[in-house]
Amino acid sequence: MIFVDTNVFVIDLRYRRDPDYPANRRFLDDLAARGNGVTGLINLLEICGILSFNLSPHRLRELFHNFGQQYRLLIVPGASAQAGPPSFPAGDLLDKMSAKMASKDAEIALLVERFVPGAQAFVTWNKKHFVGKVPCPVLTPAEYMARPPLSLIKDVESDYRTRRKKGIMRRRAVPPKR
């Protein structure tokens, strides 16, 4: 599964003149075609909050209820008007925040850990907010589209770790001193 952060959807829904819009749109089209996208209820509510200034109450509820179908993705832990966002112990949030994360980013990182533990990638335009803080590679939509297949990345990373453990990493040739 590919976890998608709030800002990717906000660019698609609100900022069509953004210079990143074409790469963003290609990524979302690819994600919909593959059907392996996921986002959090926290993210969906954040999107609704951002867009609430420009939508009628009816259109806002329509966005909420149709979002998963519109983007062909899963919303975790679920998206119904009766569902609430997951709550996390304050200690867990503080642990994340002590790694220099904003409160909402800490909630999203915990959501990924708890509800999407096997995520293949976390896709966001705010890459620096999540690198090293979620249990999967963090990529921008443009990087995701330019990458080799994720299975190949895992094979290369696995091969690298194996070779390093066995001590058979190739050393760079050092040119002789003159």
Whether residue 115 lies inside any domain: the answer is yes
> Do the domain assignments include residue 162?
no
pLDDT at 155 over 80: no
Residue 121 lies in a domain: yes
Task: Report how many domains make up the chain.
Answer: 1
Secondary structure of residue 3 in the 3-state scheme: strand
| Radius of gyration for the alpha carbons in the chain, expressed in angstroms and rounded | 19
Residue 168 lies in a domain: no
User: Residue 176 domain-assigned?
Assistant: no
For residue 97, the model assigns a pLDDT of: 94
In a domain, 172, yes or no: no
Q: In this structure, is residue 18 part of a structural domain?
A: yes
* pLDDT in the model for residue 133: 94
The CATH number assigned to the domain holding 38 equals 3.40.50.1010
Query: Distance of CA 81 to CAs 60, 65, 177, Å?
Result: 12, 8, 70
The answer to whether residue 98 scores a pLDDT higher than 90 is yes
CA 2 to chain centre: 7
- Rounded mean pLDDT of 84-102? 90
Helix axes 6-14, 21-34, angle to 10 degrees: 110
Q: What is the pLDDT of residues 25-74, one digit of tens each?
A: 999 999 999 999 999 999 999 999 999 999 999 999 999 999 999 999 99
Range of the domain at 47: 2-147
Is residue 171, in this structure, part of any structural domain at all? no
